[in-house]
A and B are shown apart, each in its own frame.
Chain A
């Protein structure tokens, strides 16, 4: 490596990277939670549709 990265720059990078990672983790979790509820909603809708279909057939 021909650049001098500077210890101060490296140190602060460790801190801001940790903050960014925290943020990225939260975003990831939010997406997972949203996906979980979306899946549940999709399953529920499918069940309701099946029930409606069954009632119509009767």
Chain B
């Protein structure tokens, strides 16, 4: 089956067979692929963890234009730039520049700079598109420069200087933030990176937008190799220096302001560990994961991968930085559960919803039910139905109405939630799940359930 997003580049395409990912290399890309493999560039990039490794596959009936087929190292969970934290986008940008810079030393370039070509394996940013390399022509400009600015420079600057939430523009604009829009939003900023790569760039694009109508032959810009390298290195230096100093969000210090004691938290962790052992889940989704505390308990108790969903960009940032240091198989994901990543792009199939990328063995949903049911007015039955559609096993915390966190949510509004009770919860979830285990958290009034989806659900 052909990957739906793999259609732009005529050099080849991605397809799946029996759950294995393959990449076909087309005849027209034979020379470039050979140069990548034989020049030493492939060894260098894979050794440095910048490019996914692959093995050659003898088989597989390449289509007419096929030259060969490779099987790349599998990325456990594909993520998209609008689901990344600031440092993830920054690291993806730096990886792109490092690869292009290294390629120049081997007489090659990166011919595209799409953020979607970068994926995280154990929180290391890697290029997954092995066919992104082209020969360097002496004096040529970087063909992917415009794309690099739209996919990386514009969203990073918008997140830093205007608002972290503007990263979500990437969800609207699949080929990166239009530079005229970025320039308008950043109009009060005049540092070198913004001035040169956003403001000047946007003006130049506007001025030459209609060139195709008046000019016949393509015009070329000549850039010496020294200048080309200087540009890439200066971009990398400026991006390296971008930080989120001084930016604050609602949830960033969540665990300092919870309403339960250290003992109750430790008890919660014990109950989770015990329930995970009983369930034997290999892949876990942790909804409302904050900095990934419970995802890590899942990894310590038999899970091979934990995807940590959270709505707060700085919580995801902390989780990513911790995961990057430890090399754990944790996937931090910026995600609004009440408005999840949709299918976008051509035919709504280029980028797909999370459940199309992986079906977890188990979902952990701690301290989240009251946000869904009360802040978002979701009936418990709808929440149960949704979770039953995602996972066969659920470890979920019920937070009663008497809890101070729920009281805070209800303080400014009418209580229109007569069914939000422990009995109501058990009834709603009982329609889809069997209760395998139920454990109150002493000293908190909350209860943790391990639920198993019934076969007919």
Contacts and interface: CB of A to CB of B under 8 A. Distances in A.
Given A17-B223, A17-B230, A9 B204 contact: yes
A3 B208 contact: no
A39 B411 CA distance: 73
Contact of A23 (B10, B220, B230): B230
B208 A5 contact: no
Contact of A2 (B10, B146, B196, B201): B10
B181 interface: no
B196 A16 contact: yes
B10 A11 contact: no
Contact of A3 (B143, B211, B233, B235): B143
Given A1-B143, A14-B222, A9 B230 contact: no
Interface residues of B, number: 43
A20 B234 contact: yes
B144 interface: yes
Given A17-B231, A24-B226, A3 B147 contact: yes
Interface in B187-227: 196-197, 200-201, 203-209, 211, 218-224, 226-227
B142 interface: yes
Contacts of A8: 146, 201, 204-209
Interface in B141-158: 141-147, 149
A24 B231 CA distance: 9
A16 B197 contact: yes
B27 interface: no
A10 interface: yes
B234 A23 contact: yes
Contacts of B144: 3, 5
A20 B204 CA distance: 18
A15 B199 CA distance: 13
Nearest to A7: B208
A1 B147 CA distance: 13
A10 B209 contact: no
B152 to A, nearest CB: 14
15 contacts: A2-B111, A3-B143, A3-B147, A5-B141, A9-B145, A10-B141, A10-B145, A10-B221, A12-B203, A13-B223, A13-B231, A14-B221, A17-B227, A17-B230, A21-B227
Interface of A: 1-3, 5-21, 23-24
Q: Which 10 A-B pairs have the closest CB atoms?
A: A9-B146, A8-B205, A21-B227, A24-B230, A8-B204, A8-B208, A20-B230, A17-B231, A12-B204, A20-B234
Given A2-B11, A9-B204, A10-B220, 11 more contacts: A2-B8, A7-B211, A8-B209, A11-B221, A12-B204, A13-B221, A14-B221, A14-B222, A17-B231, A20-B235, A24-B233
